[in-house]
Structure formats: C-alpha cells, structure tokens
Amino acid sequence: MTACSYPDARVSPRSERESRIRLFCFPYAGGSAQVFRDWEQELPEQIEVSGVRLPGRGERVREKPFTELLPLVQVLTDELAPHTGEPYALFGHSVGAIIAFEVARSFRRERLPLPLHLFVSAYRAPQLAHTSYRSFDLPSADLIDRLRKLNGTPSQILESPAMLEFFLPVIRADLQMVQTYKYSVEAPLECPISAFGGRQDPEETPEVISAWREQTTASFSQQMFAGDHFFLHAEHRSLLQTISQQLLSAREAGVI
C-alpha cells in the first residue's frame, strides 16, 4: 500500500465546498467509513468529515484486514501524511480511538503537524490494561452473542449467515488488533484531548475514560453521554455539538 491523494479509497472524498478543518474519523471494530456518512450534514460548514476507510471493508474489501495495530498505523500515517498540512482533527470510537491516538503519535515521530484536537470515544486510556477477556478467538456463536449484547451491530447482520460470513472475519481481525495491542510509553501529546464515554457502558467507565488526561500536556475535557458502548448513534447530535464547539473555539482563538 502506498500513500494516496483525494479522491481515493482511503478516506471519504472531499466535498466541493471550502472547509477550514478536516475531521478524520476512525470507526469501531467491524465498522466502516459509512458510520460517519451523515455527520457532515449536521456539523457547521467550517468542518469537513473524512471517514477513514480501513482495509477489509468498503472499497478496500479485497485487502486483508490488519490483525496488528502498529503496522496499520504506519500504513495510515503514510496515506494521511499528505493531508496534514491543512488544519485537521482526529476522532475515533472504541477501536478507532486507539487507532487515532497511535496515528497522532506516529505523526509526531514523523515530525508532521499534530491535530488541532484528538477526540477519543468509548475506549479507556491506552496506558491502562484492558481487563476484558479475549473475544477475537471465541467460537462464532459466542462471538455473535457478545456482539448482540454490546448492542452495536445491526440485527440484520447478526441474523444473516451470508452477511456474517463476511462480517465476522473483519471484526475478529479488528478485535485481535486491539486486544493484542501493547502500549509503549512516550511523552504526552501536545494537542488537546477530549474523551467521551457512555454512562451505561459496563467496561469503559468514567474512571478509565478520565485517565486520557495523562496523554496530553494541553487541555483535557471529559464528557459522559446517556447510553451504552455505542452511544454515538443515539446521542450523535449531542456528540457532534461538543465536537463542533471544541473545533470552532480553536478557530476563534486564532489557533487556525
């Protein structure tokens, strides 16, 4: 895989309108850029949404999904580096949060401009060990049951053998990638971080969300939303309002 330019199969195509801030969005396990397809219509015109298209889904369906996080991060660094010269921010939900975090650290190692803001959602701070058991190698029936309890996978997928045949290998790869991830200590990032969580999420509690504070020397904020691990669907309007306020405040403060 090599670096690419717009339009491409790596991030959603740019709109034709002028935009001051590009928001790169990383999906949760098994998710695709389509998760964010309606966000741009609900955000102010100064913010442009680019859903990052990961291997194994969408236009990259013929590519093998990654089972290790850091090799994926290096590929994404190469692909997104040409687009860091303009103001941008990163958002990631669940598995996407840890991908976004490691991409930001990779940009720093490559001496690329850091994001205006890093938004991490529904995932504990990376320095904390994840206590949940390994689920990527569960028997299919058990994995499907766990996905059903997490309440984030559409029922039409879980009830369709044909769709599961495609979906399960991708989600297993994503889960393996994050469940075998080993955090390495580096200096905190110099960009602001906002961390989000669901009040009814049994694993990603307010305490583990708040630990993201240690990963930045800039400002930190935390907000908990009504809902479980996938609050970003039911509470997306409140979530987008928070994101837009943070980014437009940076613009008004003259950061951009």
**Active-site residue set:** 94
Give the ranges where 159-235 is alpha helix by DSSP (H). Answer: 161-179, 206-210, 231-234
In 122-254, where do the E strands start and end?
193-198, 220-225
**Which amino acid appears at position 240 of this protein?**
L
Would you state the structure tokens that stand for residue 40, as one six-digit string? 């741009």
- For the sheet with 21-26, list strands across it: 47-51, 21-26, 88-93, 118-121, 193-198, 220-225
Residue closest to 69 by CA, chosen among 82, 54, 88, 50: 54
- Using a 10 angstrom Cβ sphere, with 0-12 exposed, 13-18 middle and 19 or more buried, the burial of residue 140 is exposed
Would you state the structure tokens that stand for residue 25, as one six-digit string? 């969005």
